[in-house]
């Protein structure tokens, strides 16, 4: 049984994911790849824009089917969504982390993501809700930042939050530098 703090009612792993959604909302990953067995039709019906590249079909995160903490295509969700369990979820299932600790970790990452969104919106108003992976793409290259103090000053709050997000994401949610499932959601 999962250890709980005195005041905390017994909460399940599904409750944890419902309270989180960081693997669906563009915080931890930038896209989801479909596998040959996945049908894109139910996803399109739910408003997800499925596209393709040289490796096959995919869609970008934040996922349009992630609404109010729930997956609106749960029964038809892609196999990579189905199989994915982050490090935090696995630790919670084993009782290695309490609900309160897990909730605090989720909250920290979510607040950081919101701060990042606000900083990006200040610089690029249309990109405030972009995935973290997309935000990384618009940061000026290091060589330009290093040679332009004004540019560096403008981007510093974004850079600081990106570094903190990456660290918290890797430490708390990914088992290693690669996601648990090699073909899962990719940055
Ligand atoms: S990041 Fe982990 S805890 Fe959060 S919704 Fe995804 S699997 Fe669940
Ligand atoms: S299909 Fe469902 S599980 Fe997959 S990213 Fe979208 S909301 Fe999350």
SS3 47: coil
pLDDT in tens, 125-169: 988 679 999 999 999 999 999 999 999 999 999 999 999 999 999
The whole-number pLDDT of residue 186 equals 46
**Cα distances (Å, whole numbers) of residue 182 to 120, 176, 179, 185:** 30, 11, 6, 9
Does residue 53 surpass a pLDDT of 60?
A: yes
User: 78 near 41, Cβ under 8 Å?
Assistant: no
Mean pLDDT on 27-32: 95
Q: If pLDDT is split at 50, 70 and 90, which confidence band does 37 have?
A: very high
The whole-number pLDDT of residue 170 equals 87
Q: What is the DSSP letter of 20?
A: T
User: 8 near 146, Cβ under 8 Å?
Assistant: no
Pocket test for ligand 2, best of 23, 65, 67, 179 (most atoms within 8 A of CB): 65
**Cα distances (Å, whole numbers) of residue 178 to 87, 146, 169, 187:** 11, 29, 11, 10
For residue 185 and ligand 2, the question of a CB distance below 6 A is answered with no
Break the chain into its structural domains and give their ranges. 1-10+86-179, 29-85
Expressed in angstroms and rounded, the spacing between residue 119 Cα and the centre of ligand 1 is 25
Mean pLDDT on 66-95: 95
Instruction: Please state, for a pLDDT cut of 70, what percent of the chain lies above it.
Output: 88
The whole-number pLDDT of residue 174 equals 85
């Amino acid at each position: 049984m999962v250890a709980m703090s005195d005041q905390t009612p017994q909460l399940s792993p599904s409750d944890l994911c419902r309270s989180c959604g960081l693997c669906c909302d563009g915080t931890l990953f930038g896209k989801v790849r479909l596998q040959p067995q996945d049908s894109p039709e139910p996803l399109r019906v739910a408003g997800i824009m499925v596209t393709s590249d040289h490796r096959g079909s995919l869609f970008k995160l934040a996922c349009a089917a992630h609404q109010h903490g729930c997956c609106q295509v749960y029964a038809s969700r892609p196999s990579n969504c189905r199989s994915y369990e982050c490090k935090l979820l696995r630790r919670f299932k084993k009782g290695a982390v309490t609900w309160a600790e897990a909730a605090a970790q989720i909250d920290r990452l979510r607040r950081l993501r919101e701060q990042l969104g606000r900083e990006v919106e200040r610089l690029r108003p249309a990109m405030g809700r972009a995935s973290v992976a997309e935000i990384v793409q618009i940061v000026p290259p290091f060589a330009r930042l290093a040679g332009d103090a004004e540019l560096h000053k403008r981007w510093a709050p974004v850079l600081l939050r990106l570094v903190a997000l990456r660290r918290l994401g890797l430490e708390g949610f990914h088992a290693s530098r690669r996601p648990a499932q090699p073909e899962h959601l990719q940055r």
